[in-house]
A = this chain, B = another copy of it.
C-alpha cells in the first residue's frame, strides 16, 4: 500500500546519477585520476570569496535569533528588495519586491509554479533538449508534459513543431536558456518570435499561455553572448532562478520565483505559487543564506576557468571531426554522437572510463552531454580518448 509512482521515482535513479555512481565505483578500482567523469553539472569554480565573507559578517553583526529564525514565507524583504534593484539595474526591468518569492532552488520553485498552473487536462510544453526532471514535476502535479522536438543543429525553437503542440489545454511553455544540456542560448529574435506566437495562440484559445523560464545558468554565458531578459520580451513570464550556479552554491538551495507584474492574473498567480509552495511544505528559504545573498546579489561568477575549458574542449573535438551545438552558455557541450546513437557511443566511451551522458532523457538521443565543469588536467588527459573514439 505504497504510492507506486513515488516508489518508481525513488527506486529508479536518473541516468545521470547512475553514471555518476558508476564513476565513483570505477574510481575506487582504477584510481580517480583514471576516470574521466563528465557526468554531473556540479560547479567546479568555488563560490566567490565574498560569500564566505558575508557568512562571517552576518554571524558577527546579527543576533542568532534573527539569523537563524523563520523569515516570512516569501522571504526577507531586504533580500527581495536587493534582488529587485539588481534586476532593474541590469535589465531596465520593473521588478517589485512583492513579485518575488524566495524559494529553495530552481527545482522546488518549478514545482510550485507548475502546481499553481496545474488544472484539469493541463499541458506543459518542454522544448527538447530539456531537463529530465520536468517530467516528474509535471506528472506528479497531474499535468501532461508535451515535448517539442529539438531544432537540430541550431538548438533554437522549431516553431512549426511548437505551433502544432499548442492547444487550448496548454498552460505554459517551459524554457531553459542557457540550456542544460545543449549549452545554447535563445536569441532575442527567437524569443520575440515565441512571444508573438504565444500572444496569437492565447488570443485564439481565449486563455493566457505563460512562459516558465528556468534560468539557473543566466549569468553563465561566454564570448560576448548575453541571455535576454525574457519578461522584457513576453509579459506573461514566470522566472525560476537559483544561485546554485552563479554563486557556486548548488547545495545551499536558494533562489527565487519572479512573477512579472505584467502577467495575466498576476495577484492570483502569485498567491497560487505561494499556496503550492505551502502545500509542498515550504516554510521559508534557508534563513542564514537569505541574509548572505542579500549582501551578494551583485557578485558575478568568475567564468574564466569554465570559458577556458569550453574553448579547449570544443576546439579539440571540432578538430577531431565532432559536431556540436554552439556552446554559448551554461557549462555543457552537446555533441552529436558519431554513428548516430548517443547511448551506443556512451557505452563505448564507458569502456575507456570516459563518462558521457547520452541525450535520450533530454529528448535528443543522437547527442551526448559533456559537463565541462571539471579540471583542465582531466580534459587534457581525456582528449586522446575522444580522438580515438571517433576513429573507431
Contact = CB atoms under 8 A, between A and B. Distances in A.
Interface of A: 1-3, 5-11, 40, 42-44, 46-47, 51-52, 55-56, 59, 63-65, 67-71, 104-105, 107-112, 115-119, 122, 133, 136-137, 140, 171, 207-208, 248-253, 265, 268-290
A1 B64 contact: no
Given A253-B104, A279-B137, A1 B119 contact: yes
Contacts of A122: 1
A333 to B, nearest CB: 21
A286 B286 contact: yes
A111 B281 contact: yes
Contact of A10 (B3, B55, B276): B276
Contact of A251 (B63, B108, B287): B287
B272 A10 contact: yes
A281 to B, nearest CB: 3
A244 B104 CA distance: 17
A249 B64 CA distance: 9
Contacts of A112: 281
B55 A271 contact: no
B119 A2 contact: yes
Tell me how many chains of this kind the complex includes.
2
A111 B280 CA distance: 6
B105 A281 contact: yes
Contact of A276 (B9, B44, B108, B279): B9
A266 to B, nearest CB: 11
Contacts of A6: 115-116, 272-273, 275-276, 279
Given A7-B268, A273-B10, A69 B52 contact: no
Contacts of A59: 52, 55-56
A42 B56 contact: no
Contact of A104 (B104, B111, B272): B104
Contacts of A252: 68, 286-288
Given A116-B2, A286-B289, A278 B136 contact: yes
Nearest to A207: B1
A103 to B, nearest CB: 9
B11 A275 contact: yes
A180 B347 CA distance: 54
Given A64-B46, A251-B71, A253-B286, A3 B207 contact: no
B43 A117 contact: no
A122 B383 CA distance: 55
A44 B64 CA distance: 10
Given A47-B64, A59-B52, A116-B3, A69 B283 contact: no
A101 to B, nearest CB: 10
Nearest to A48: B64
A139 to B, nearest CB: 8
A44 B65 CA distance: 7
30 contacts: A1-B119, A1-B207, A3-B119, A3-B272, A3-B276, A5-B279, A7-B271, A9-B275, A9-B279, A10-B271, A10-B272, A10-B277, A46-B63, A47-B64, A55-B59, A56-B56, A56-B59, A68-B251, A69-B251, A104-B104, A109-B281, A111-B279, A251-B286, A253-B253, A253-B283, A253-B284, A253-B285, A253-B286, A253-B287, A288-B288
Most B CB contacts (10 A, CB to CB) among A1, A119, A271 go to: A1
Contacts of A64: 46-47, 51-52, 248
Contacts of A286: 251-253, 286, 289
A317 to B, nearest CB: 26
Contacts of A280: 108, 111, 140, 280-281
A269 B107 CA distance: 23
